[in-house]
Amino acid sequence: MSKITISPSPHVYEDTTVKRLMFDVVIAMLPVLAISIYFFGMGAIIVTLTAVVSCLAFEWLIQKYMLKQEPSITDGSALVTGILLAFNVPTNLPIWIIIVGSLVAIGVGKMSFGGLGNNPFNPALVGRVFLLISFPVQMTSWPVPTGFSNSYTDAVTGATPLGVMKEGIGAGESVSAIMDKIPSHMEMFYGHMGGSMGEIAAVALLLGFVYLLIRKVITWHIPISIIATITIFTGILWMINPESNADPLFHLLTGGVLLGAIFMATDYVTSPMSVKGIWIYGVGIGLITVLIRVFGAYPEGVSFAILIMNAFVPLINMYIKPKRFGEVRND
Amino acid sequence: MSTIILFTIISLSAIGAIAAIILYFAAQKFKVFEDPRIDQVEENLPAANCGGCGYPGCRGFAEALVKSDDISDLYCPVGGNDTMSKVAEILGKAVEAKDPLVAVIRCSGSPEHRKKVNSYDGASTCVIVSGLYSGETACQYGCHGLGDCVEVCDFEAIYMDKETELPVVIDDACTACGACVKACPNDIIELRKKNKKDRKIFVSCVNMDKGGIAKKACDVACIGCKACVKVCAYDAIVVENFLAYIDPVKCKLCRKCVEVCPTNSILEINFPPRKVKPAQPVGEAEAKETPARSTGEKENDNNIINQEG
Amino acid sequence: MLKTFPKGGVHPAEGKYSANNAIETLPLPKTVSIPIAQHIGAPSKPVVDKGDKVKVGDKIAESAGFVSANIHSSVSGTVVKIDNVMDSTGYKRPCVIIDVEGDEWNESIDRSTDLKKEISLTDKEIINKINESGIVGLGGATFPSHVKLSVPDGKKIDVLIINGVECEPYLTSDHRLMLEKAEEMLIGIQILMKALNVNVALIGVENNKPDAISNLQNIVKDYPGIEVHALKVQYPQGGEKQLIKALINREVPSGGLPLDVGAVVHNVGTALAVYEAVQKNKPLFERVVTLTGKSVKKPSNFMVRIGTPVSNLVEAAGGLPEDTGKIINGGPMMGKAVNSLEIPVVKGTSGILIMPAELSKRKKESNCIRCAKCVSVCPQGLEPYLLNKLALLEKNDKLEAGGVMDCIECGSCSYTCPAGLPLLDYIRLGKSRVSQIIRSRKQ
């Protein structure tokens, strides 16, 4: 018999590891990836591969040569960041822009704060927003979903339903008139519309959500609080004037609401720790999203909303505490 | 255009002037009188903020020095007598010169001498180990080897020797601030009087078990045999709870006790090599242990640890 | 819907291998080492000397204060010495060592197995008897039972809660007692009810012991005031505060005791010991110990004399498995790893768990990913990730404000952490530092 081990209790552990959690997220993203490849073809594959490879490479290089740590790319977090970054860009984005985005996501968004667990902002969103501000033309010329095609950067481009809606309302058209120009709700649900690679297919995103819930990777609180807030807020606006405001379902199915709510806002590192805090966070993301979409200059605001609420997370964690057992109330 | 610039300049200047006036009155109103000597004293302190004096940082110590009438109880171990005499000069108060101290590690239980009987797998700090159980070896008093003392040292004066798994004090860097003494859950580290040429004689063991048990757990444990007490001409050694202790003040560094210790638990450090007495059978047997007994004082060139009988 | 506590909790694999094995009486050992500190509170004072002859049930060490307990000899024989012996605390501590000669019991003990139902003693006499018999909480906390029964003035107790939860994985000693000694246990509960002057006693049993629940429910009809409640399986339901919340939905205030909400909690094993002490005049000198583990040949439940070396139990269960990597005194969640098989069984030893080597090492540590799983499983509503960090930084005032003293050390946070962080290790350290500060503040 070898020497016996002594350690403080507990002596048993759940088999969940960081790696398993990350790979579960990757599995949950596969349906989205499949639908994107179906609609956008080669472009989706090239963008995803570029983003994933460059994210992994930057993480490895930075850990090895700048931080002089043991590289930990096998934990899967850089893989998740890479796929999420790819999901957040159009499929005709030039490769070099994606590499720049990966560098910003991993280098600035994550490693500059000390790596996994220490970054205040979602790295993939940092990358995306950087690209959106730096390369607005490339980042907003979305390819038209045509079914699988081999075209990459020379794909036919068009506007997203959200963009059409924003422009139409701005030009004084009525919502019902605009609706005729864009895909039906059912088509949007299946993903037949222009947009960033991972945000088009609601059905695939919801499938991923169910998988994450079953595997207990995330709880329902963050996605549902965001979706409910957006539904209620846009619902009120729609009921006030259905001709100048789009219906809530339109808002949910277009743009990055579901992608953001299910995969981006739920990022462990950048979301609050307590359930109460999560509600504040989710409602905040919902409100800011709608404010940007309806009253702001950009047609879409999910990524800004998430980043803004990310910034509040440390504050939320400091002041919103879980209710303690047997807490003595002074009332 | 020029009017806009003009208005901007005028209004901003006005705001600046008003703010300056408010700030001036605020500074007058909330002014806290501070004894200027505090700054003076603080300038002369080492600015290490180590807490070795018992006060939170050098500033806190400076305040205490200025406030108290009798500062003979206050001492900055880092700055030593020089600093204290300067401080005394500034304040016009009297200080006594104290013997400079240095930390010594009172355990020689390297894995070679002290077999590991189980393996610890938990948070890597000595204090958690000692809260949990008696440690990886059969000696519950000795060093746990996880380096809590290294962690707290502000002066990089202590490091873990990878081979012996024991901490080693770098004499020249040690300021005797006492942080490691407080951090060690087993009270292995002692601050002892610093002698000429960093010479040291001390019992490198804290095991209070009966001789047989101690010896079984560790080859180099003090077994409380009192051989050293008998040979000491200065009454410097006492044995309590089967453990010898050499009073650093009474000890005259004669090294007689080192020779008689049957388990080599008394160490002599930084002494010149003594003449090898011919034909001493015990010496040969013990000499084999010599390399393992060099408890890592590798920093000092003139360090010789004598192992002969 | 089964009752349970509402906040946090985990559900580790149960591994109750020994659940179907009846309690066997372990043969007497050659020597026993009986520690004089087996309970929470002051260590007892030995009243025997080297060379003294003792019988089974003779007092060998005397309670050293109100929060302390008598200790009785578990064997008959000669006191060899009083010496320091390694015990389950991981340190050598004083033990009375007795060489066994025969099995001669103190004459005052009633050794018949007849049930004795009438309770003739008054409440004060019962508490005295329990104190005299050295009974402590047998669930593992070993808090002297008479202290819990002595309700201070101004406090009103209206319910007695009996803990038959046994939420620790692997352990089955309470389970077997509820099957084999149910009648005695119920009489013991009645005695406790009389001592506390309450009319209601609730037994909480987790639903993974359906046989014990139905057994108790069948016979409990004859005992008015006692109810059996099945509870949803959820660790740490055996914690006093969690059990009270689950059964009667009262929340023990932070820093308070169960009696602040009118409840007293005792373990099923303690109830049986109370029956034996009060009705049979038998002090506490033996208990049921589960000896179990994945690779143990014959997982068993033994009736063991206090002071028996653990190695005797291991032999009786088929020897130490080849692949042993860890020996735990208690269950896998809160038990203590021990470094020797020669440690004696004490009053608080509910089980000995032998873990195979491949399950003995911890997960590899990585960065905290702030997944908040520790927050969601903490039954006390604390933030373990934060307390861990504060303890590392020695921010003792913030630790105290963060409720570190409310931590019940159940280990759910470390259990669930995907990054394998030793959360409880540091929280426990922080807790001990803060409790020292609180103690020095009171002085």
- The DSSP letter of residue C405 is G
CA B212 to chain C, closest CA, distance in angstroms equals 14
Report the chain B residue with the minimal C-alpha distance to residue C429.
B128
How many structural domains compose chain C?
2
Same-domain pairing of C201 and C253: yes
DSSP lists the bridge partners of residue C329 as C336, C352
pLDDT < 70 stretches in chain A: 1-2, 153, 155, 328-331
Whether residue C183 lies inside any domain: the answer is yes
Name every chain C residue with its beta carbon within 8 A of the beta carbon of B118. Answer: 339
pLDDT at B303 over 80: no
User: Reduced to 3 states, what is the DSSP secondary structure of residue A234?
Assistant: helix
pLDDT score recorded for residue A184: 86
Among A241-255, B252-266, B268-282, C276-290, the range scoring the smallest mean pLDDT is B268-282
Please name the member of B118, B128, B140 whose beta carbon is closest to the beta carbon of C429. Answer: B128
pLDDT at B298 over 80: no
* Average pLDDT of the residues in C373-384: 94
Same-domain pairing of C396 and C340: no
pLDDT score recorded for residue B277: 58
Whether residue C248 lies inside any domain: the answer is yes
User: Reduced to 3 states, what is the DSSP secondary structure of residue C56?
Assistant: strand
| Band of residue B302 on the pLDDT scale cut at 50, 70, 90 | very low
Q: Where are the alpha helices (DSSP H) in chain A?
A: 18-40, 42-61, 77-87, 95-103, 123-134, 136-139, 161-170, 175-179, 185-190, 202-214, 221-240, 248-253, 257-259, 275-290, 302-319
* Average pLDDT of the residues in C3-29: 92
Interval B165-193: pLDDT, tens: 999 999 989 988 889 999 999 999 999 98
Same-domain pairing of C237 and C313: yes
How many angstroms separate the CA atoms of B225 and B247, rounded?
Answer: 17
Whichever domain contains C259, its CATH number is 3.40.50.11540
How many angstroms separate the CA atoms of C382 and C361, rounded?
Answer: 27
Strands C300-305 and C23-25: parallel
pLDDT score recorded for residue B279: 52
Asked if C360 is an interface residue toward chain B (Cβ–Cβ < 8 A), one would say: yes
C339/B123 Cβ within 8 A: no
Interval C87-115: pLDDT, tens: 888 889 999 999 999 999 999 999 988 88
C7/A325 Cβ within 8 A: yes
Same-domain pairing of C308 and C399: no
In this prediction, does ipTM exceed 0.85?
yes
Report the chain A residue with the minimal C-alpha distance to residue B137.
A3
Whether residue C62 lies inside any domain: the answer is no
- The DSSP letter of residue B137 is B
On whether the CB atoms of residues B178 and B160 are closer than 8 A, the answer is: no
On whether the CB atoms of residues A202 and A210 are closer than 8 A, the answer is: no
pLDDT score recorded for residue A255: 87
pLDDT score recorded for residue A329: 56
C428/B131 Cβ within 8 A: yes
CA C380 to chain B, closest CA, distance in angstroms equals 23
* Average pLDDT of the residues in C287-294: 94
A4/C367 Cβ within 8 A: no
Same-domain pairing of C355 and C395: no
Average pLDDT, chain B: 85
What fold is seen in the domain B36-91?
3-methyladenine DNA Glycosylase II; Chain A, domain 3 (1.10.15)
pLDDT score recorded for residue B293: 44
- Residues ≥6 apart with Cβ < 8 Å to B52: B76, B77, B78, B175, B176, B177, B178, B179
How many angstroms separate the CA atoms of A262 and A204, rounded?
Answer: 11
pLDDT score recorded for residue B280: 47
On whether the CB atoms of residues B305 and B168 are closer than 8 A, the answer is: no
On whether the CB atoms of residues B156 and B172 are closer than 8 A, the answer is: no
The alpha carbon of residue C17 and the mean position of all alpha carbons in its chain are separated, in whole angstroms, by: 20
What is the number of alpha carbons within 13 Å of residue A21 lying toward its C-beta? 24
Q: Residue C395: give the domain boundaries.
A: 373-442
B125/C360 Cβ within 8 A: no
Please name the member of A3, A4, A6 whose beta carbon is closest to the beta carbon of B132. Answer: A6
* Average pLDDT of the residues in B111-131: 92
- Residues ≥6 apart with Cβ < 8 Å to A152: A42, A43, A46, A91, A92
| Band of residue C288 on the pLDDT scale cut at 50, 70, 90 | very high
3-state secondary structure string, B76-114?
Answer: CCCCHHHHHHHHHHHHCCCCCCCCCEEEEECCCCCCCCC
- The DSSP letter of residue C61 is E
Could you say which architecture CATH assigns to the domain B101-293? Answer: 2-Layer Sandwich (3.30)
What is the number of alpha carbons within 13 Å of residue A60 lying toward its C-beta? 10
Whether residue C188 lies inside any domain: the answer is yes
**CA angle A216–A220–A226, rounded 5-degree value:** 145
Name every chain C residue with its beta carbon within 8 A of the beta carbon of A72. Answer: 366
B 94-123 residues inside an 8 A Cβ radius of C:
117-118, 121-123
Going from N- to C-terminal start, the domains of chain B cover: 36-91, 101-293
**Number of alpha helices (DSSP H) and beta strands (DSSP E) in chain C:** 13, 17
Asked if B127 is an interface residue toward chain C (Cβ–Cβ < 8 A), one would say: yes
How many angstroms separate the CA atoms of B195 and B78, rounded?
Answer: 17
User: Reduced to 3 states, what is the DSSP secondary structure of residue A143?
Assistant: strand
How many angstroms separate the CA atoms of A109 and A310, rounded?
Answer: 12
Interval C402-419: pLDDT, tens: 999 999 999 999 999 999
CA dist C299 → C114, C320, C331 (Å): 29, 11, 14
Q: What are phi and psi of A171, to 5 degrees?
A: -85, 0
CA A137 to chain C, closest CA, distance in angstroms equals 35
**Interface test mutation site (partner C, options A3, A6, A7, A14, max chain C beta carbons within 10 A):** A14
pLDDT score recorded for residue A2: 64
On whether the CB atoms of residues B104 and B54 are closer than 8 A, the answer is: no
Contacts 24+ apart (CB under 8 A), B271-277: B271/B199, B271/B304, B271/B306, B272/B302, B272/B304, B273/B304, B273/B306, B274/B306, B274/B308, B276/B308, B277/B308
Name every chain B residue with its beta carbon within 8 A of the beta carbon of A1. Answer: none
On whether the CB atoms of residues A312 and A284 are closer than 8 A, the answer is: yes
Same-domain pairing of C295 and C316: yes
Question: In C60-76, which positions are buried (b, 16+ CB within 10 angstroms) versus exposed (e)?
Answer: bbebbeeebbbbbbbbb
Asked if B240 is an interface residue toward chain C (Cβ–Cβ < 8 A), one would say: no
Q: Where are the alpha helices (DSSP H) in chain B?
A: 2-29, 36-44, 57-67, 80-91, 126-132, 148-152, 179-183, 211-217, 227-231, 256-260, 281-287, 290-293
How many angstroms separate the CA atoms of C305 and C291, rounded?
Answer: 14
pLDDT score recorded for residue C160: 96
**Interface test mutation site (partner B, options A1, A2, A5, A6, max chain B beta carbons within 10 A):** A6
Report the chain A residue with the minimal C-alpha distance to residue B115.
A3
In the numeric block, which tokens belong to residue A64?
A: 């090895």
pLDDT at B75 over 60: yes
Interval C314-349: pLDDT, tens: 999 999 999 999 999 999 999 999 988 999 999 999
Whether residue C168 lies inside any domain: the answer is yes
In the numeric block, which tokens belong to residue B47?
A: 């600015």
Which of C337, C361, C385 is the last residue in one of the domains? C361
A8/B128 Cβ within 8 A: yes
Q: Give which of A93, A78, A90 is closest to A124, Cα–Cα.
A: A78
| Band of residue B278 on the pLDDT scale cut at 50, 70, 90 | low
On whether the CB atoms of residues A184 and A206 are closer than 8 A, the answer is: no
Which of C361, C391, C412 is the last residue in one of the domains? C361
Asked if B128 is an interface residue toward chain C (Cβ–Cβ < 8 A), one would say: yes
How many angstroms separate the CA atoms of C332 and C171, rounded?
Answer: 9
Same-domain pairing of C355 and C384: no
Please name the member of B118, B123, B128 whose beta carbon is closest to the beta carbon of A3. Answer: B118
Which of C361, C394, C426 is the last residue in one of the domains? C361
Q: What are phi and psi of C434, to 5 degrees?
A: -65, -40
How many angstroms separate the CA atoms of C78 and B245, rounded?
Answer: 38
User: Reduced to 3 states, what is the DSSP secondary structure of residue C427?
Assistant: helix
C241/A6 Cβ within 8 A: no
Name every chain A residue with its beta carbon within 8 A of the beta carbon of C90. Answer: 6
User: Reduced to 3 states, what is the DSSP secondary structure of residue C59?
Assistant: strand
CA C403 to chain A, closest CA, distance in angstroms equals 8
pLDDT at B294 over 70: no
In the numeric block, which tokens belong to residue B130?
A: 């000692």
* Average pLDDT of the residues in B155-162: 92
* Average pLDDT of the residues in B279-289: 45
Average pLDDT, chain A: 90
User: Reduced to 3 states, what is the DSSP secondary structure of residue C29?
Assistant: coil
**Interface test mutation site (partner B, options A1, A2, A4, A7, max chain B beta carbons within 10 A):** A7
